[in-house]
Structure 1
């Protein structure tokens, strides 16, 4: 009897050892949660990095709590200086997918489709044995709208819930596929029916339900899933109870709101339709509601990972394609080099390799995403060409704080401006205006031009030089189009 008991214990021991070895050497999973037009000040983890004056731009009481999103940063890292390569949807997404600047992808401007021959991180992971899925807004397949389940998959095998364009608020699934469940008027306006919008039909909830279904299906094999939520991009509508959750708030005008006589840079372009004179209270309340709905749904995803023992071996990324000015500098939406237009959230949690509570003050762009994430996953990417860097060594470093003055460049989709940025300074060059140099430490509101200040001469020259080196290296059209070297 003792002999059999001893043998049984040996088998159990061997089994546990093999299980432990298998778990240790299992490929890491990748889960990306991606929002659209998301202002950094609405995220608790980012407000903690700001002064009160910066964190509460619309008043001390006007905050939306994001405990679930904050868990990603608290349990991993937060990049304080992550930028869209170009702060509009298509080019930013193109860079994130490929590790290239927009001009090299075929998608430097909204609604331009990716070139057939570009290789995405989805394709690379698929080639390395991953189950690859994409759920939500894509915006890289041209003008098709809504464009569900595009024929070109770019490595994402499961793309039934991929939609190309549009910010539809209510969806439903039929046998043939997903459809928009909203009335569209002849003039193209979309009618939001509050009665139809519930926890099953509202787009954010609908997409998260489908993402969870795919995760359940793929949880026992290496998976890569990108969930691209179209909110909090307008139109500013959200389902109950989020639609009234912030009705008690009154939003103050931002300090940087445009006032008659202000000497703003000419590239701001006051004539554009997204210029605003006063803040829209209801739109802001609905925006906050959308953010809260996203956060609650992220909580559902994190719970799934925990319940299925996937936390330790899953890289969870949260980011956005670009920001939203929300009335700052007298503008809505995106497209400008100001911080809350061009700078985006980037938080990552990977308990196995990334120290919790880590902060990185170093400039990155979306072109850095693909090489960095592949490096973090130990995927050989040496045979691919990237414009971005592999920053995985920064992510895996035992240091809880990394400070680096690396310079990157970002651009306007239509070459109206280009900018060189590091972790403190930003130089904006435009064919229509003098150069503007911002000191984000001394003037975080970005109101003062330090370009002609003798004390800033060296940093201005350094940014100028590096900007043109990178633009030339990556064939940025603005360099030759406007002869910006003069």
Structure 2
């Protein structure tokens, strides 16, 4: 039997609610069919719901301090050394070393920009920062075919660096970026499907396709985008009860929503094109397809529009797998995945579990996902509130900013904020009875129990944190706390 192929698809800022029954009022027929034919994980979580940190964990299987990406990568954070470390492991490097034909198409956003990137990339923004960057061939972490860029939010006039292009040799394109990148991906698949001259099976491939939409600018849409969402009332567009429609943020979210949903539907169409190509080329049977995102978007929930916050709208991401006859349907409810688990799980699914680098901290959840598999070991972050679970990270941007850690389980969540001036504060939510996180639990016994779980999960993961001592004090038994206060 030939080695299985991989098509790994990422859509930036595509929140999980877009694919849920009773969720966002958006049409996604191809992704719905993909989920129906495969598995859609209801507990897929972005551990650091902003672009670069999640992508770094997704590629390396390492936590932020280990892989070097503790913040979004731009020229400001590059001064702190933020960028995926050259020696970080990656699932792509493992597959390339196993003989795979590896390719990356689209947004990367893991390379720290250098001054030359301000000239040859997208250029500085109004605040002087620049985000786009060319990635040298020895910093592509296992991808041989390269059609990519760092970070540029120009959906209708994108640009790319190809495999052998130097920094000053970018290719400029006119057209909607996701459609163009799908065109390139289809050509890659056609080339990869060809038989060798001796009639041997083709080399297995692992292709990552990374679309920037539905990330803003929301009005940069393909010419045939779905305009029907504009006719929906705000309360239909934004149906989550944690959105206050009659506020400035609520009104802005209602204006954004029709465009965001139009981009989601257009992205769904690109998924359909890729799946159809696999079918036409006879590759569907032997190709694992994964669709996911780096984070979601608040869209007015909790008075916020975007991401990088520990609410469900930002943290929860789609994770849809299709692989004919090889996936366990019950995994949709019983298994979950967090950012660091993606890399080892990909390797496990493709039969390379023995090759997972020891430097990867994530869990290989493939046993729970494969048909006739055994239940996954939840490992370092499992707690009494139910597995699967995921740590949450937010690193301070300056000395006055908060340093945040959290733990999300299938049934509950604790978020702990700390800085030297204000000390420790916590928010605890019951995700079963309060899925929209409207009620911060104040019961000291519940807070203490969740604080113990977070402290244990951080310790098991080998994570240091500035608020660790304060969290440990909070997690102590009540009588100990009372004695200290006295």
Q: State the Cα distance separating 1:466 from its structure 2 match.
A: 3.0
Paired position in structure 2 for 1:250:
233
- Cα displacement string for residues 189-248 of structure 1 (whole angstroms, at most 9, x for unaligned residues): xxxxxxx6xxxx110101111111111111232000000100111011212221634222
Quick check: 1:391 aligned with 2:365? yes
Paired position in structure 2 for 1:92:
54
- Cα displacement string for residues 294-340 of structure 1 (whole angstroms, at most 9, x for unaligned residues): 00111010001111111111000011000001111110110111101
Paired position in structure 1 for 2:432:
441
Q: Take 1:180 and 1:243, find their aligned partners in 2: how far apart are those partners?
A: 26
Paired position in structure 2 for 1:72:
34
Q: Is the contact made by 2:60 and 2:360 (CA closer than 8 Å) also made in structure 1? A: yes
Matches for 1:294-309 after TM superposition, within 5 Å: 294-309=267-282
Q: Take 1:405 and 1:474, find their aligned partners in 2: how far apart are those partners?
A: 16
Q: Is the contact made by 2:44 and 2:316 (CA closer than 8 Å) also made in structure 1? A: yes
Q: Is the contact made by 1:407 and 1:463 (CA closer than 8 Å) also made in structure 2? A: no
Paired position in structure 1 for 2:43:
81
- Cα displacement string for residues 148-201 of structure 1 (whole angstroms, at most 9, x for unaligned residues): 554321100011x111112221236799665455xxxxxxxxxxxxxx6xxxx1
Q: How many residue pairs get matched? A: 412
Paired position in structure 2 for 1:164:
150
- Cα displacement string for residues 26-80 of structure 1 (whole angstroms, at most 9, x for unaligned residues): 100011110111122222xxx22xxx4xx25xxxxxx211011112211111111
Q: Take 1:462 and 1:362, find their aligned partners in 2: how far apart are those partners?
A: 23
- Identify the match of residue 206 of structure 2 among 224, 228, 245: 224
Q: State the Cα distance separating 1:114 from its structure 2 match.
A: 0.7
Matches for 1:40-439 after TM superposition, within 5 Å: 40-43=16-19, 47-48=20-21, 52=22, 55-56=23-24, 63-111=25-73, 112-143=82-113, 144=117, 145-148=131-134, 150-151=136-137, 152-159=139-146, 161-170=147-156, 171=158, 178-180=170-172, 201-219=175-193, 220-237=202-219, 238-242=221-225, 244-252=227-235, 254-257=240-243, 276-356=249-329, 358-379=331-352, 380-398=354-372, 405-414=387-396, 416-431=403-418, 434-439=425-430
TM-score (norm 2): 0.78
Structure 1 residues 290, 363: CA separation in 2 closer, same or farther (over 3 Å shift)? Answer: same
Q: Is the contact made by 1:313 and 1:352 (CA closer than 8 Å) also made in structure 2? A: no
The structure with the largest alpha-carbon Rg is 1
| RMSD of Structure 2 on Structure 1 (CA) | 2.8
Q: Take 1:168 and 1:483, find their aligned partners in 2: how far apart are those partners?
A: 44
Structure 1 residues 300, 115: CA separation in 2 closer, same or farther (over 3 Å shift)? Answer: same
Q: Is the contact made by 1:87 and 1:321 (CA closer than 8 Å) also made in structure 2? A: yes
* Structure 1 runs not aligned, ≥5 long: 1-24, 57-62, 182-195, 263-274
